Amino acid sequence: MLDSLFTSKMRVQILMRLFLNTDSRAYLRELAKDFEASPGHVRAELQQLTRAGLLSSMRKGRQVLYRAEQAHPLFPELQSMVRKALGMDRILDSIIERLGKLEAAYLTGDYAEGKDTGVIDLLLIGDIDRRNLDDLVTKTERFIHRKIRTLVLTMPECEGLGNHLRGQPRLLLWRDSDNCVASF
């Protein structure tokens, strides 16, 4: 979807990386290494996206740190497009509708850091029908062409693992507004 809007695959990779998780920040060399591209190519795309106001940059020592510019008028739409391109919207809709009493859903691991590695890690908190979850994961993987790994915890299990989970990258995808879900 994003490939048809943007002519540069590098630009799409940068947008996917920085717009998936708004807390995500990256350096030029880090992006070049992750994308297996030349720093010059990545620099040109970063500069273009910064000039367009989609990214902001700040100096940290001798390096420049880039992040998605949340104040840009197109930020919500671009972030939504990134999530749709990764299949997050379909995953969440299906989970919420078919799997029982979901209290919260978190994206963890590489995708929570904005890295499209092909393996999506989801932490689901609640009373989840695991058989339906396995069926849903299999169908969704075929549709989005990515592997999905799930960790299902009840609220007490989540609270018990709170210290371990707190150190992991995570992005809240959905929370039941009727229940107060402890943030770990």
Domain boundary among 53, 78, 103: 78
What is the pairing mode between strands 147-153 and 119-128?
parallel
Residues 169 and 148 in one domain: yes
For residue 92, count other CB atoms closer than 10 A to its CB.
17
Query: pLDDT 10s digit of each residue in the chain, 184 long?
Result: 444 445 677 888 888 888 877 778 889 998 898 888 899 999 999 999 999 999 999 998 989 999 999 999 999 888 888 877 777 666 667 667 777 788 888 889 888 887 778 898 999 999 988 888 898 888 888 877 889 999 999 989 988 887 777 778 888 887 886 554 555 5
Residues 170 and 94 in one domain: yes
Classify residue 181: in a domain, yes or no.
Answer: no
Residues 12 and 68 in one domain: yes
Number of structural domains, the chain? Answer: 2
Residues 102 and 119 in one domain: yes
Q: Which residues pair with 170 in a beta bridge?
A: 108
- Which residue range(s) make up the domain with 46? 2-78
Classify residue 180: in a domain, yes or no.
Answer: no
* CATH code for position 137: 3.30.460.10
Q: Which residues pair with 125 in a beta bridge?
A: 104, 153
Residues 137 and 66 in one domain: no
Classify residue 183: in a domain, yes or no.
Answer: no
Q: What is the pTM of this model?
A: 0.60
Domain boundary among 78, 102, 131: 78
Residues 39 and 98 in one domain: no
Residues 98 and 68 in one domain: no
* CATH code for position 57: 1.10.10.10
Strands (E), 61-183: 63-68, 100-108, 119-128, 147-153, 170-175
Q: Are 124 and 92 in contact (CB under 8 A)?
A: no
